[in-house]
Structure 1
Amino acid sequence: MFKSNDPIIIKDLFLKHPIKNESIFYENDLDFFDREGYQLNTIEKTFHEENKVDFHSENRMARRVSDDALNVVLQHWFNQVEEHPQIFIDHSHILHRFGFEGEAKEQIREHAEKHPKLWKMYHIKPKYGIDFCFDWIEDEHATEVIHIEMDIRDNKLMKETVEQLTDFIEGKDWVDLSKYIISKKDEWLQLDDYAQAVWKAKHTGLDQLDLPWFTGHYLNKPYYFAYLKVID
């Protein structure tokens, strides 16, 4: 039903070349800095352009930064190759968040002496992101069937995780599993988001993968958004 686009996992997550237009450090406010996600502010975007790192841009309001666009280093992970009247991918992404080294980091340090909010960028710790979500949608209900999110810092672990999850997602009969999950909604709907994640992982076999999720810390679980959702 789903087919991977074979995303490229970039090994070096540091931007090293400084930017030419240094006035940009003072023309942009660093409020709403995306501290847990992947959205780039205007200064980060300029560094990516200077270092020839492609990023995905959409002209819509971003959730974490003040720009009127979504700018992220994003690759589309899966396509839906088998159509189904009720199953739809909501989003499926492999993400990269870069930090700074060398002349780029030194340039930020110099300007942070005058513009202290730049220290947030100076201290960025790079990471990889995995995000896959699909829904079952019909006239009687709309249900998020599975939503996997993970942040990883190690390149080798990221590659291994993407490989395992690709095999898992491509190898399942999601029509039958979706129907099963929906039929058991009375068992998981009243649970909080993290307990729902544990339930769905157990009943789809996700918890059988050799991945460092269930460590007792909620941030390491394949979780569902902790915000109030508008569908089940």
Structure 2
Amino acid sequence: MGTRPLKGRVLIVGAFAFAEDLGRLFLEQGHPTAVLTCEGEIPSTLPPAIQAEAQSAALALEVLPSPLDPKRTLIATLDASLPPETPLLSLCLTVSATQVASWTQHPGRVVGFAVLPPLTQGAPVELAIPLNGDVAALKPARAHLEALGFQVEVVRDTIGMVLPRILCALINEAAFAVMEGIAAPEDIDTAMKLGTNYPRGPLEWGDLIGLDLVVAILDALEGEHRNGAYRAAPLLRQMVRAGRLGRKTGRGFYEWK
């Protein structure tokens, strides 16, 4: 994997946790990068300084995991602002890349990607081409991400792709175990680390990802499959309602300083 600066500028727009971490990684590798964090109400036009960055961007990343209406607005705004040939990577944790591409005038530019916090060099990233996309967009997307040190895999386009889907289901099952009084969070995580050699237990992992994002991914999967396999544990929903989201709020299944 190379660390040379890639040609052209990178534009990253979306949720703070993803945009700031990705922006830092690009900047650390010497890539000229502009970052705009936005959540909640999304502007229909980019601020003038970011608009200028968009017009010269060689790659754009949209990193708003949910909900869908603001995400759709942001995708449409970026699609209208970027040169038609600029690849647009969309964070597809709660929506498919095919759905994202349907919101654009240039579906061939869209590549879905999936990654979970914490974002660090060496983390796995999955890429997927929309059903109405263009496989040619994969090459620059993959080159940029591999230049950051990510481990890139190409998968079929589905909501949540592979790691987010399986990991959130695992976190959900661990939350059911806590809710049913089977064991304490620490004991569940210890059992899973010792028994499966995972780098961290599922409940600690959930705290690091953000329990609100875990529930959003589970809800999107349940909405897609409608078989009950991804029904979020009531305990997870209650914790989200209480603002106990994990590390970012200081408390989830664990206390975080």
Same-fold call, TM cutoff 0.5: no
Q: Choose between structure 1 and 2: higher helix proportion.
A: 2
Greater radius of gyration (CA): 1
Q: TM-score, normalised by structure 1?
A: 0.29
Q: Which has the higher contact order (CA 8 A, sep 6+)?
A: 1
Q: Choose between structure 1 and 2: higher strand proportion.
A: 1
